[in-house]
Amino acid sequence: MFSDLIGWKYDLDQIKVPWMLVGGTGVFDSTLITSLYGMNQFYNSVSGNGLTVMARRKDADHSDMRAIGDGYMTAFFLYNFYGNKTAKKAFLGKKAEIKNNDLWQDVKVKS
């Protein structure tokens, strides 16, 4: 992981708030920044904090994620900060939008 290379230490057990991690399947993002293995480790380490979301955008790299992930990030904040019921549907329920969006893969959601 890139954080290991730069000496950035953190403790995922300390995360006690809703949390969303997105990455891309592009070479730079998936091998250096946010590998699927690392994302799974992060996702599995965070618990008891409310909504936790993990997803990878197909055919996107790290520099693409700010713009590509904006819609889901906005929905995430609208739901968690304001209880917006429409935004909730992006992640939760039988027809959760992100779980049915063919542009995203490796989607995991827990609450």
**Torsion 86-89-95-98 (CA) sign:** positive
b/e 69-86 (16+ beta carbons within 10 angstroms → b)? beebeebbebbbeeeeee
pLDDT, tens digit, for every residue of 12-27?
777 889 999 999 999 9
The answer to whether residue 47 sits within a structural domain is: yes
Prediction pTM value: 0.87
Per-residue pLDDT at 13:
77
Q: Which residue has the higher pLDDT, 9 or 91?
A: 91
User: Nearest Cα to 88, choosing from 104, 69, 74?
Assistant: 74
Q: Which residue has the higher pLDDT, 3 or 39?
A: 39
The domain tally of the chain equals 1
The CATH number assigned to the domain holding 37 equals 3.40.50.1820
The answer to whether residue 10 sits within a structural domain is: no
Compute the mean pLDDT over every residue in the chain, rounded to the nearest whole number: 91
The answer to whether residue 9 sits within a structural domain is: no
Domain carrying residue 49: 15-110
The answer to whether residue 85 sits within a structural domain is: yes
The answer to whether residue 54 sits within a structural domain is: yes
The answer to whether residue 1 sits within a structural domain is: no
